[in-house]
Copies of this chain bind each other. A is one copy, B any other.
Amino acid sequence: MVLQALHREAGLARVVVTTLQSVSGSGKPGVEELEAQTAALVAGEPLHAEFYPEPIAHNVLPLCETFRDDGYSTEEMKLALETRKILELPGLDVAMQCIRVPVPVGHSLSILVETQKRLDPDAARRALAAFPGIVVVDDPSRNVFPTPARAAGRDEVLVGRIRRDLESDRLWLFVCSDNLRKGAATNAVQIAEEMLRRGLC
C-alpha cells in the first residue's frame, strides 16, 4: 500500500527493504516458542529452540521460512515476486533481506525508495496520508513513529520516519502493520467486500 501510494505520486524506480517480521508470521508454533523462551529467560533456565533453528527470544534471526539453494529465503523471494504482482510492476527492482525478530504480532519494514520523479518528504507524507488504510505516524520531535506494538490490533498500515536520504533523492520510510489483520484476515475481508461491491461474488 505504501509503495502504491508513492508509485501513483512519483513512479517507483528502485526499492531496498529489510523486514523485521514477527513470530506470528510463522503461525502458532512461532508464538508459542517465543512465549516459552521468554518465560525460560525470566526463570533463568536454558532456552530450547525447536521450531526455529536458534532461540528467537532476545535474539534476531536473518531467516524467515526456509533457505533456497541460491541462499535466498522463500520469504524473500515471495516479498519480491508478490510486490511486483500486486503493484502490477513486473520489472520493479526490489532488493530485500528478511529478518525474524522477537515480536509476537506486527511486521516492520525499513524501506529506501527511489522514485522516477523527485518526491519531497512532505509530498510523500501527503500522498501517504490521503491513501485509504494508511496512517502517517511521523513526529520525531515528540518521539512519535510506527512500531509493531502500535500497529498490533489495528487494520491500518502505519508509516513514519519519512525523510530524504543524505546523498540522493531517495526516501527512507519505516512501516509497521498487523500481519494477522492487514497482512491476512483483514485483507481477505476487504477483498471480499470489494468483490461484493463490484458484483463479482
Interface set of A (CB-CB < 8 Å, partner B): 16, 18, 20, 34, 38-39, 41-42, 53-55, 58-63, 67, 69-72, 80, 93-95, 97, 99, 101-104, 106, 108, 110, 112, 121, 140-141, 143, 145-150, 160-163, 165-168, 170, 172, 174
Contact = CB atoms under 8 A, between A and B. Distances in A.
Contact of A60 (B34, B41, B63, B103): B103
A20 B99 contact: yes
Nearest to A16: B16
Question: Oligomeric state, in number of copies?
Answer: 2
A54 B144 CA distance: 9
A60 B147 contact: yes
Main secondary structure of the interface of A (DSSP, over half): mixed
A13 to B, nearest CB: 12
Contacts of A112: 16, 95, 97
A58 B102 contact: yes
Contacts of A55: 149
B20 A60 contact: yes
Contact of A147 (B54, B170, B172): B54
Contacts of A58: 34, 38, 102-104, 149
B97 A161 contact: yes
Given A53-B143, A140-B71, A161 B20 contact: no
B174 A95 contact: no
A187 to B, nearest CB: 22
Contacts of A121: 71
